[in-house]
Structure 1
Amino acid sequence: MARASQQAIGNQAPLVIATTSLRKAQESWLAGLANERRLSEATLTAYDRDLDQFFSFLTEHMGEPADLSHFPSLRPADVRSYMARRRQSGISSRSLARSLAGIRSFVRYLEDRGEATTAPFNAVQAPKYSRSLPKPLTIEKAQRLVNPSESLASEPWVSARDSAVFLLLYAVGLRISEALALTLRTAPLPGQNAMTVTGKGNKQRRLPVLPVVQTALADYIERCPFELEPDEPMFRGVRGGPLSPRVVQKTIETLRGALGLPDSATPHGLRHSFATHLLANGGDLRTIQELLGHASLSTTQSYTEVEMSELMSIYQKAHPRS
């Protein structure tokens, strides 16, 4: 990973913001997150960057490169100074809260090794921010998006591929990374009414699969012009390599304009729609939590807020005393 500490100005030597021992602890912590918690590369990069920014603050705050020896003496006032510095740079409350969470995780790692204490961070309240609600599509618009007849693809096999991917997001509730990780061995083909998915944190969950999804997958496999190995990603790009999430995102962006769909029509928007439509038709939160693979029920509860906001909108438009 690129290091923010290597900031050369002109011909001057790079600014060192962390000692070798602190860098080794940082790398060990990140390796643990990657191997044990299976965090994505994007999340690891964000944590690495946030920690570098904290090291840069400590270097200026302490008057010398940040070191492991500085952490036991940190006070709540030091943490608040860091937050104020980031606020001055224009960081949002959401980003600052994420930054603090990453730094606190690193300090907890040091605490387990007897090299720090999390007390100064626990004494400081993270910034509050408004949590945006998921924006599901209507049932009609979601169905239009996953319908292969609506595809703008020039190749029939690409249209079949896109439809199969979209159905996995909307009819099964998969994350895009989970859908694109499917192989011939793990894909639910006709007659297989369930599938096992490995999600975040390397946790597995068993999911029901509708016949329409099984048929769409079989149709794509039959049309795909590339040889598919049993244990390799089955969804392919036009050149035969594994299908990229960005290609899926761009495909939906194009369809949005052609079909007159809202900005909420995204790969993750289809997953939101899956959960919201289940809830609207009598699904209970615990079941939906299991289907989505959420570690916390509070994450799933955001869909009840979506459903209530829609009900209130209908009520206000229709009720004679509204």
Structure 2
Amino acid sequence: MTAALLPAAPDLMEAYADWLQRLSAERRMSPKTVEAYGRDVRIFLTFLQGHLGAPASLADFAGLAPRDVRSFMAARRTEGLSSRSLMRALASARSFARHLARTGRGEATAFSAVRSPKIARSLPKPIPPGPAKEMIHADTRAGEDREQWVLARDAAVLALLYGCGLRVSEALSLTRREAPVQGVDRIEVTGKGGKRRQLPVIEAVRKAVEDYLGLCPLHLPPDGPLFVGVKGGPLSPRIVQAAVARMRGSLGLPETATPHALRHSFATHLLGRGGDLRTIQELLGHASLSTTQIYTEVDGARLMAIHSAFHPRARAAG
């Protein structure tokens, strides 16, 4: 990379590279998260270059005033950045500033004086139990012009999302050796932050995986991916998203019915059946209980909707 392409002075770019390395090695962030953080800060440094009239140095960064940070936020707003994305951009810059302070490269206090943008919290949108159960059966897509093993593969992935509460990335990271088959009733996955957790596997999920493996015509090495594409490579999340999109019409589901919504459905339906909030937190791999508590609001909203639709007094009031 030539100096002309650097968005900041060499001393600040050296600190930037050191920060990214620490995010990966010490905080064990996933490569995609590190990439996102790095992109956010690089955009901020590029903004500073134009805002200050020259590539920012460590001294320039430490000397930033709150108005400089607010100018950046205003500029990003005009580019159409959402409040959520803007909050992440500010969090990335704050993380970089903390790194500079910890490593003795300067105290950038401007970030602590600027409030993060407010975000209206939206509730997760789970899929109703009936359609969710249909989505994890290969027969639901029997009319599609696709090989039976492909339909069974997609059904097995979706079964892991709904039956175990996995993220798509967690399901697709499983190896053939880790497949829950032949009486295996637990799987271990790596979630966000490199955190490992064990999950029970119910019979319906195990059967879906066994059906897929029984039909798959490709050789799956023990340490290779459990779920593969038609050419044998790792299955892309886009394929799973497309499979769900094709089912939305036939099942009468809205656009919010995505693969990740099956994870929301797992939590909401488990809570509705009397599941303990702490246990659901552990199953989902949430670091904070407050993240899991949002599902109590989802379940409460669902109960209110049922009450409004079917309770005699609610109908009379309408």
Fold agreement, TM-score > 0.5 = yes
- Rounded Cα–Cα distance in structure 2 between residues aligned with 1:261 and 1:81: 42
Partner of 2:310: 318
The one-character-per-residue Cα deviations of 1:18-58 (angstroms, maximum 9, x if unpaired) are 11222222222222223344434443333222212211232
1:137 deviation in Å? 0.6
Partner of 1:261: 253
Change (3 A) 1:194 1:15: closer
- Rounded Cα–Cα distance in structure 2 between residues aligned with 1:43 and 1:312: 37
Say yes or no: does 1:243 pair with 2:253: no
The one-character-per-residue Cα deviations of 1:149-197 (angstroms, maximum 9, x if unpaired) are 1123521211211111110000011111110111122121131111111
- Rounded Cα–Cα distance in structure 2 between residues aligned with 1:153 and 1:191: 32
Question: Is this contact kept in 2: 1:38–1:200, CA < 8 A?
Answer: no
Say yes or no: does 1:197 pair with 2:189: yes
Question: Is this contact kept in 2: 1:190–1:215, CA < 8 A?
Answer: no
Change (3 A) 1:184 1:87: closer
Bigger mean CA offset, 222-231 vs 18-27: 18-27
Say yes or no: does 1:155 pair with 2:147: yes
1:14 deviation in Å? 5.3
TM-score (norm 1): 0.90
- Rounded Cα–Cα distance in structure 2 between residues aligned with 1:57 and 1:161: 46
Partner of 2:173: 181
Aligned partner (choices 115, 118, 124) of residue 105 of structure 2: 115
Question: Is this contact kept in 1: 2:64–2:108, CA < 8 A?
Answer: no
Say yes or no: does 1:230 pair with 2:222: yes
Q: How does 1:40-119 map to 2 (within 5 A)?
A: 40-119=30-109
Q: Which amino acid aligns with 1:23?
A: M
- Rounded Cα–Cα distance in structure 1 between residues aligned with 2:27 and 2:216: 34
- Rounded Cα–Cα distance in structure 2 between residues aligned with 1:270 and 1:221: 22
Q: How does 1:135-174 map to 2 (within 5 A)?
A: 135-151=125-141, 152=144, 154-174=146-166
Aligned partner (choices 13, 20, 24) of residue 14 of structure 2: 24
Q: Which amino acid aligns with 1:245?
A: P
Say yes or no: does 1:125 pair with 2:115: yes
Aligned to 1:221, what secondary structure does the other structure show? helix
User: Number of matched residues?
Assistant: 312
1:274 deviation in Å? 0.4
Question: Is this contact kept in 2: 1:190–1:211, CA < 8 A?
Answer: no
The one-character-per-residue Cα deviations of 1:82-125 (angstroms, maximum 9, x if unpaired) are 22232333322111111100110111111110113253212211
Partner of 1:219: 211
Q: Which amino acid aligns with 2:102?
A: D
Aligned to 1:127, what secondary structure does the other structure show? coil
1:299 deviation in Å? 1.2
Question: Is this contact kept in 2: 1:185–1:231, CA < 8 A?
Answer: yes
Q: How does 1:294-305 map to 2 (within 5 A)?
A: 294-305=286-297
Please report the RMSD computed on the Cα atoms of aligned residues, expressed in angstroms.
2.0
Change (3 A) 1:157 1:88: closer
Question: Is this contact kept in 2: 1:136–1:272, CA < 8 A?
Answer: yes
- Rounded Cα–Cα distance in structure 1 between residues aligned with 2:306 and 2:221: 50
- Rounded Cα–Cα distance in structure 2 between residues aligned with 1:153 and 1:32: 48
- Rounded Cα–Cα distance in structure 1 between residues aligned with 2:205 and 2:191: 19
Aligned to 1:54, what secondary structure does the other structure show? helix
Structure 2 alignment gaps of length 5 or more? none
Question: Is this contact kept in 2: 1:153–1:159, CA < 8 A?
Answer: no
The one-character-per-residue Cα deviations of 1:262-306 (angstroms, maximum 9, x if unpaired) are 222211011110000001110121111100001111111111111
1:316 deviation in Å? 2.5
Aligned to 2:188, what secondary structure does the other structure show? strand
Partner of 1:9: none
